[in-house]
A and B are shown apart, each in its own frame.
Chain A
Amino acid sequence: MAASTTSQVYIDVIEDVMVKVRDEFVNNGGPGEEVLKELQAMWESKMMQAGAVLGPIERSTAAKPTPGGPITPVHDLNVPYEGTDEYETPTADMLFPPTPLQTPIQTPLPGTGDNSTYNIPTGPSDYPSSGNDTGGNADGKGARPAPYMQSPSPWMNQRPPLDVNVAYVEGRDEADRGTSNQPPTQDFFTMPSGKRKRNDLTSQYNAGGYIPQQDGAGDATHGDFEIEVPPISQHHIYHQDVCISFVSGRGISINSHHTISKGKMSADLERSTSRIPQLDGPIPYDDDDVLSTPNIYNYGEVFSEDYNISNTPAPPEVPASTPALLVQNEVGNDFDDDDDDEPPLNEEDDDDLDDMEQGEDQNTHHLVLAQFDKVTRTKSRWKCTLKDGIMHINNKDILFNKATGEFEF
């Protein structure tokens, strides 16, 4: 009861403000009535979000249709359709007819057939629309949106009727809406049908099938890289102990041994005398000790990778020394020595009051705003009479005309 009364008072206040301010918006070179309506809509929507106004808002000043005028039926898409017509509920057999076991016509691949297959007109839909079905809900009330989902003011609902089954294109006549002026889909598939052979790519390069590297940093190779991988039983694929050895001038040989240890990899990296010059990546600093982040680029002998640190080493920094604490007597003046025995100024303050004041404006959930008629005190007993107030208590707004308060201090 009180919530609806408060909501109605708020709506009346909004209406009164809009009426009284309208002259300033419309006349005297104001921004116009559209801005005023936008202000009203935003204000009302914020009030609905705060829960202070119960929607939908119905006003006495809302525009009503003229009695003799033509009535254009407009169906609100936000409300479930509750028509009197009965439709047969489409079953799976109606919507999806059974497919024969053998498809008589082979499905054309893109690029092999004519392009008329992919010319999709955007005309009226021939499929039965199931958007109006309630889905077995007899009353249809379950799908009705909540009151706060309504648009804030009726001027936002005044739209021309829209046929959602027709794709509207700006600048196109009504007569052309049935057909599509859309060009057929272009055929970007120029590859021949069938599997792509390996020599299709390498034939345009050197005779040996060598594709030259065209981007990035080139690697100086010393000898050929050979990878020797003995056959591995698929049953023991997760129980392999892989030993990788780098032999100078020969390449990499990978030897796998059947072991029971799972997830354990022993890497034996032997440094080669012929060093591959580094052509990309960050240049390591000469002194690894001054790196502010751990060595993640494996500049040293041991490979370590930490995923919790940043991937870019910071430049060397000289650590700043912690300044020594100064003794108070060294800095203090001579005439300050007499005041050492005095307590601080705020020693006698009420700490409890300070705690209340700190969070007072930040986190005040309960607030009463009113006018006072009389405030009296007898010893520690306070009495006050308030009027014309707004209470915001427990996320509710309560308006009152008179209030009496009795407090014990």
Chain B
Amino acid sequence: MATFELYRRSTIGMCLTETLDEMVQNGTLSPELAIQVLVQFDKSMTEALETQVKSKVSIKGHLHTYRFCDNVWTFILQDALFKNEDSQENVGRVKIVACDSKLLTQ
């Protein structure tokens, strides 16, 4: 199963990365095993988002910057509005990083 390392930049991914980094520096964990944990996290996170999450979101805002490189779109929005089923959030500046979903199905 192909996975993205995209979700490692999320809150849960950063917490895992910090934990693994501390344990590797303490000598509790080998770097190879830490990488295996991160790869497994990529798989588990992708699977959980596909199967457990059902919510829909709409995003509107002023596109300040766009970039497409290595099949990754990067958008920087200003004065963005996020509408959820429960609530809506206003953000002055937000960054969107999106990978190509077709790469996972190949």
Contacts and interface: CB of A to CB of B under 8 A. Distances in A.
Contacts, number: 201
A404 B59 contact: yes
Interface residues of A, number: 63
Interface string A366-409: 11111111010000001010111111111011111111111111
A39 B60 contact: no
Interface in B32-61: 33, 36-37, 40-41, 43-50, 52-61
Given A21-B36, A43-B16, A392-B10, A401 B56 contact: yes
A16 interface: yes
B53 A38 contact: no
A356 B58 contact: no
Nearest to B97: A369
Given A24-B33, A47-B11, A366-B95, A405 B23 contact: no
A121 B53 CA distance: 62
B98 A386 contact: yes
A110 B31 CA distance: 62
Given A13-B48, A382-B66, A394 B89 contact: yes
A403 B52 contact: no
Interface in A1-56: 1-2, 5, 9-10, 12-14, 16-17, 20-21, 24-25, 30-31, 35, 38-39, 42-43, 46-47, 50, 52
Contacts of B77: 407
A367 B95 contact: yes
Contacts of B57: 389, 391, 398, 400, 402-404
Range for the number of chain B residues in contact with chain A: 35 or more
Contact of B63 (A20, A369, A370, A408): A408
Nearest to A48: B15
Which of B16, B57, B65, B99 has its CB near the most chain A CB atoms (within 10 A)?
Answer: B57
A408 B62 CA distance: 5
A-B pairs, top 4 by smallest CB distance, nearest first, are A407-B63, A371-B101, A372-B98, A46-B15
Interface of B: 4, 6-7, 9-12, 15-16, 18-20, 22-23, 28-30, 33, 36-37, 40-41, 43-50, 52-66, 68, 73, 75-77, 80, 82, 84, 86-87, 89, 91, 93-101, 104
23 contacts: A2-B84, A16-B47, A17-B16, A30-B33, A31-B28, A35-B28, A46-B15, A47-B15, A367-B97, A368-B94, A375-B73, A384-B75, A386-B98, A388-B49, A388-B53, A388-B101, A390-B10, A390-B11, A397-B12, A398-B84, A402-B57, A405-B59, A408-B63
